[in-house]
Amino acid sequence: MARLYYDADATLDFLRNQKLAIVGYGSQGHAHALNLKDSGLDVAVALYEGSPSRAKATAAGLPVLSVSEAAKTADLLMILLPDEVQRQVYAEQIAPYLRPNQVLAFAHGFNIHFAQVVPPQDVDVIMVAPKGPGHLVRRTYEQGQGVPALFAIFQDASGHARDRAMAYAKGIGATRAGILETSFREETETDLFGEQVVLCGGLSALIKAGFETLVEAGYQPELAYFECLHEVKLIVDLVVEGGLANMRYSISNTAEYGDYTRGPRIVNDATRAEMRKILSEIQSGQFAREFVLENQAGKPGFTAMRRQEAEHPIEAVGKDLRAMFSWLKKIEA
């Protein structure tokens, strides 16, 4: 078993008397900034001129700087911008002002691993990547818990990069849950693989294909929605709580038998071969190149796919059914 590190393994001392700047105030940004502040550290938020997040950060009691001011004054910069804008913001507003011994931190390895951001040799480059969305990073912290995280060192100029990364993980509450050491390469490749094959790509495609198959066979879309989308959460909760066995314990024997005998026909040898192909596109940088070029071109394909997917019939059915649920909930309350 790989070693997990907890609160007792890390000390905030490596970040005390240091100015921390969180660049971006979105999903991860707001959670990191507020948790670090509540951990007693000196933290500011760096935003672009006219950012709508400025008012939110100010209202939360956080000082707001421009990104270039933060690059000039902060000891540690955590870059929590969307991955596709990091290259440009780094080149224009951060790189010109960097000083030796500063820390550049990331929550995902994409831009470093795929060389979209190439920092100078004399700064530390670290990663602390919570394995959960920002609102959970914040909510669990407020409850005295934390979301587990991965941490990694890409460049250790100060000799303290690892202590600083672990201190940062402690500051956002991650060591309460446990942190695991990795490399930028491993985090980047497994994160992309997980989101493409299982969590986002695989799951959306599975839900849609199941829904479409039932609707094409003449069943009511509402039932297809319940069976193929709504119940996913109930099943996933059981899986996360106690593994696959826990889920199989709770479902009917009929469902369990169907699971063993039919599941492997859906995820079959052809599916596995495609998974390996997707992994090799990630490893070779082919996916990264495609995503970078797509963004440079102004996201034509990305935008078209977003629109097309938003118009899928499952979305219209879901909207109506969810409205009905909230109406039912209000009556019950």
- Give least dist CB 200 to Mg ion, A: 9
- Give least dist CB 178 to ligand NAD, A: 16
Q: Which one of Mg ion, ligand NAD, none interacts with residue 190, CB within 5 to 8 A by kind?
A: none
Cβ-based burial of 153 (10 A; exposed 0-12, middle 13-18, buried ≥19): middle
Q: Which residue is nearest to ligand NAD (CB)?
A: 26
Active site residue: 30, 32, 108, 113, which one? Answer: 108
Q: What letter does residue 8 receive in the DSSP assignment?
A: G
Nearer Cβ to ligand NAD, position 28 or 35?
28
Of 102-161, which residues contact Mg ion (CB under 5 A)? none
Q: Does 83 bind Mg ion (CB under 5 A)?
A: no
Residue 82 main-chain phi, psi, to 5 deg: -55, 140
Q: How many other C-beta atoms lie within 10 A of the C-beta of residue 4?
A: 13
Alpha carbon distance 259, 269 (integer Å): 17
One residue of 148, 191, 288, 314 binding Mg ion per CB under 5 A:
191
Residue 30 bears catalytic tag: no
Q: Does 196 bind ligand NAD (CB under 6 A)?
A: no
Q: Does 169 bind ligand NAD (CB under 6 A)?
A: no
Nearer Cβ to ligand NAD, position 52 or 144?
52
Distance of CA 204 to the CA centre of its chain: 17
Q: Does 182 bind ligand NAD (CB under 6 A)?
A: no
Q: Does 83 bind ligand NAD (CB under 6 A)?
A: yes
One residue of 10, 65, 76, 107 binding ligand NAD per CB under 6 A:
107
Q: Please answer whether residues 12 and 40 qualify as being in contact, where contact means their C-beta atoms are separated by less than 8 angstroms.
A: yes
Q: Does 134 bind ligand NAD (CB under 6 A)?
A: yes
Q: Does 150 bind ligand NAD (CB under 6 A)?
A: no
Alpha carbon distance 291, 275 (integer Å): 18
Q: Does 180 bind ligand NAD (CB under 6 A)?
A: no
Q: Please answer whether residues 44 and 60 qualify as being in contact, where contact means their C-beta atoms are separated by less than 8 angstroms.
A: no
Q: How far is CA 76 from CA 12, 85, 174, in A?
A: 14, 19, 18
- Give least dist CB 168 to ligand NAD, A: 14
CA torsion sign for 118, 120, 121, 126 is negative
Cβ-based burial of 53 (10 A; exposed 0-12, middle 13-18, buried ≥19): middle
Under the rule (CB under 6 A), what is the footprint of ligand NAD? 24-29, 48, 51, 53, 80-83, 85, 89, 107-108, 129-130, 133-134
Summarize as ranges the residues that interact with Mg ion (CB under 5 A).
Answer: 191, 195
Which residues carry out catalysis?
108
